[in-house]
Amino acid sequence: MDINCWKHRLEELPLGDLHLYQELGSTNQKAEELFQQGAPQFTLVAADSQTKGRGRQGRSWITRPGKALAFSLILHPPSDFPAERLEMFSGLGALALAEAVQAECGVPAQIKWPNDVLVEGKKVAGVLVELHWSGTDIQAVVIGVGINVHKGSITKTDQLNFPAGSLEELCGKKVSRLDLLCRTLQSMCSWYPRLAEEAFLSSWDSCLAFKGEQVELQAGGTILDRGELVGLASSGCLVLRSRTGEEREYNSGEIRLRRANL
Ligand code: BTN
């Protein structure tokens, strides 16, 4: 990563402070330290490689030098941001990523709810949203994004949970990490003030993978539910329809979604 060149390009975007590193433990961890020291809205932390990258559900996330994108964006929502709309932050990360992949790579991208991005059914990117509270008020939201860009970005561990792929291999052309980063950030910054709008929900919903298909939801290795994936409720929760026609809503929490084995 040419830090000066990246900084120069990123300065054109409406971001807060910029913190770019060749190597970090975790960009989400660094973002947490920075907002506690007063880092402003849209502060960006990006690293060429991570030694202790965090994935969802306590998993680790490996970022090898020169192969992938790993970054975190700090948001300061209003302290009275409604608790029932917190799902929107997962959608914000996933939708921005899906839009950026489509625009930069020219291939359709889908969102495996809540926040994995798939190309041709393979996971190319993941989002880790971490909420930080001060009592009952939300203090900051850190949206961490990891994208498998070049060949060699995928590890064996990545393949354990879901088939994974790199963007370049799946779209069959060169992909610039910096262009993809800028495009994702532009999308995040422009959707962020519009999280309550119908257009946000419908754009997120229109990217969902497995719509109309039978899926199952798992938590801690146990199957919670099976049903047809209907789409998103107005809260951003996922709606599943059982065989009897009953509709049930789920928030992302510790849930994993996959296509059901029929
Ligand atoms: C997932 O499990 O799919 C989410 C992975 C999120 C990884 C990104 S990489 C940048 C940011 N920093 C971290 O430590 N994790 C996230």
- pLDDT above 60 for 256: yes
- Which residues, listed in sequence order, are joined to residue 227 by a DSSP beta bridge? 215
- Average pLDDT on 105-123 reads 94
Of 141, 150, 77, the C-alpha closest to 115 is: 141
Taking the C-alpha atoms of residue 148 and residue 169, their distance in angstroms, rounded to an integer, is: 10
Residue reference for tokens 């964006």: 73
The pLDDT assigned to 11 comes to: 98
Q: Whose CA is nearest to atom 5 of ligand 1?
A: 55
Compute the distance between CA of residue 136 and CA of residue 68 in angstroms, rounded to an integer. 36
**pLDDT at residue 257 in the model:** 77
What does the mean pLDDT of the chain come to?
Answer: 92
Could you tell me the distance, in angstroms and rounded to a whole number, from the CA of residue 63 to the centre of ligand 1? 9
Q: Dihedral sign for Cα 217, 222, 224, 225, please.
A: positive
Query: pLDDT band for position 255 (50/70/90)?
Result: low
Query: Mean pLDDT throughout 214-223?
Result: 88
**Which atom of ligand 1 sits closest to the CA of residue 116?**
3
What is the whole-number distance in angstroms between the Cα of residue 64 and the centre of ligand 1?
Answer: 13
Residue of the nearest CA to atom 16 in ligand 1?
144
- Return the pLDDT at 118: 96
Between 45 and 84, the more confident residue is 45
Q: How many CB atoms lie within 10 A of CB 151?
A: 12
Four-point Cα dihedral 147, 218, 162, 60, nearest 10: 50
Ligand 1 proximal residues by C-beta, below 6 Å: 26-28, 50, 53-56, 59, 61, 63, 70-72, 116, 126-128, 144-146
pTM score:
0.94
Contact criterion met (CB below 8 Å) for 64 and 150: no
Per the CB < 8 A criterion, the answer to whether 227 and 248 are in contact is: yes
Ordered domains of the chain (ranges, CATH) = 3-206 (3.30.930.10), 214-259 (2.30.30.100)
78-93 average pLDDT score = 89
Q: What is the pLDDT of residues 126-141, one digit of tens each?
A: 999 999 988 888 899 9
User: Taking the C-alpha atoms of 232, 163, 224 and 222 in order, what is their torsion angle to the nearest 10 degrees?
Assistant: -160
